[in-house]
Structure formats: C-alpha cells, structure tokens
C-alpha cells in the first residue's frame, strides 16, 4: 500500500516513456512492449502499475492546462496573453508532449476525443468569462485557430509553420483570436 521510493521511480519512468510513445506514434501504434522497453522494465509491470493500456493512457493525458484568468485583463491584452500562454504550454519542457498526446490520440481514439471535449468545456470555456452560450461559441472559434496551428506545427509539421518563431506566430494569430473574442457573432 505504501509507495516505496523505487516503485515511484519506475512509475514515473513508465509514464514518461508512455507520453513519448503516445505522442510519437498515437494510441494504436504505441505498444505496451515498446513503452516498457523504453522504461527499461518488463511489459507486465506496466499492467501491474496502470491496470491496462487504457489506464496508462488516461494517466498519460491527465493534464492541467493551467490557463490564466484572462477575464481580469483589459480586453486588448487578452488575445495576446492567450496565444502566448498556448505556445508556452506546447513548447514548455514541463508538459513534455502531453498536449501532443492528447491531440494526436483524440483523433483516432473516441475516448480521447471525449476527454478533449471535456478539457475544452471545463477549462477553456470557463476561463474566457461567464459560460454563456455566446461565450462558448467564441471560445470554440478560438480553439479552431489554436488547435489548427498546433496541428500544422507539431503534428503535420508544415515547413512554413515550423519555420516561424513563436513571436511571429503570436503576431499573426493574436488579431484573429481578438476578433473571435470581440466581434459580434
């Protein structure tokens, strides 16, 4: 019952390896065997720690977006703050590809898609202000642009988008996001 230090180490080793494999290969092609090999342990240990592949996946995509409360900012600063935070999340070391895991597998795995909708509804929808219907539509429009750029940059790796640095992207995208947040629908 009590976690020893060693068990906790391999537990996180498995999780790290799982995130990398899920991010690179997607849910279906990431195999328990490969993840275990990366973590330097036996495949059966993965089962003992996380119960099943689904359980491991659920642990791998358990992410906190840690969104800033843009509602407190002056309106003209909200869009830029959001976009900047978005790139910090994707390119940050700490998250280590969780978002890539989530997005990539939300596309082949219905459970992941639902989790993504939940994350969106729960975290994105509310931090943009009171959750009126209009507000969630605005948030969804923002999501189309931000997820689209993540798709092209981190998954499809469109060379023109990969080549741009984040500052140039912020400059291009912030006005779009601002329009979705303010323009009448």
Q: Let me know: does 44 contact 18? Beta carbons within 8 Å.
A: no
Helix (H, G, I), strand (E, B) or coil at 96: coil
Q: How far is the CB of 8 from a copy of itself (least distance, A)?
A: 32
Angle between helices 75-91 and 98-106 (to 10 degrees): 90
Options 50-58, 66-74, 86-94, 134-142: segment touching a copy of itself (CB under 8 A):
134-142
Q: How far is the CB of 43 from DNA (least distance, A)?
A: 4
69 part of the interface to a copy of itself, by CB under 8 A: no
Site map 139..158 versus a copy of itself, x via CB under 8 A: xxx-xxxxxxx-xxx-xxxx
**Which residues bind to DNA, rule: CB under 7 A?**
1-4, 6-7, 10, 30-34, 40-48, 52-54
What residues make contact with a copy of itself under the rule CB under 8 A? 25-26, 28-29, 104, 106-108, 113, 116-117, 120, 136-137, 139-141, 143-149, 151-153, 155-161, 164, 168, 172, 175-176, 179-180, 183, 185
């Amino acid at each position: 019952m009590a976690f020893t230090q060693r068990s906790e180490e391999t537990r996180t080793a498995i999780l790290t390896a799982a995130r990398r494999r899920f991010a690179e290969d997607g849910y279906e092609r990431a195999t328990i065997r490969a993840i275990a090999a990366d973590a330097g342990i036996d495949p059966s240990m993965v089962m003992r720690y996380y119960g099943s592949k689904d359980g491991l996946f659920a642990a791998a995509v358990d992410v906190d977006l840690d969104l800033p409360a843009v509602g407190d900012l002056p309106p003209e600063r909200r869009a830029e703050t959001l976009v900047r935070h978005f790139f910090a999340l994707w390119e940050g070391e700490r998250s280590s590809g969780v978002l890539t895991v989530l997005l990539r597998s939300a596309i082949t795995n219905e459970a992941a898609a639902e989790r993504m909708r939940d994350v969106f509804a729960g975290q994105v929808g509310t931090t943009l202000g009171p959750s009126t219907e209009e507000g969630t539509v605005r948030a969804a429009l923002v999501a189309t642009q931000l997820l689209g750029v993540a798709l092209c940059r981190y998954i499809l790796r469109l060379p023109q988008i990969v080549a741009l640095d984040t500052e140039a992207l912020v400059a291009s995208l912030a006005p779009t996001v601002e329009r979705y947040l303010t323009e009448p629908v």
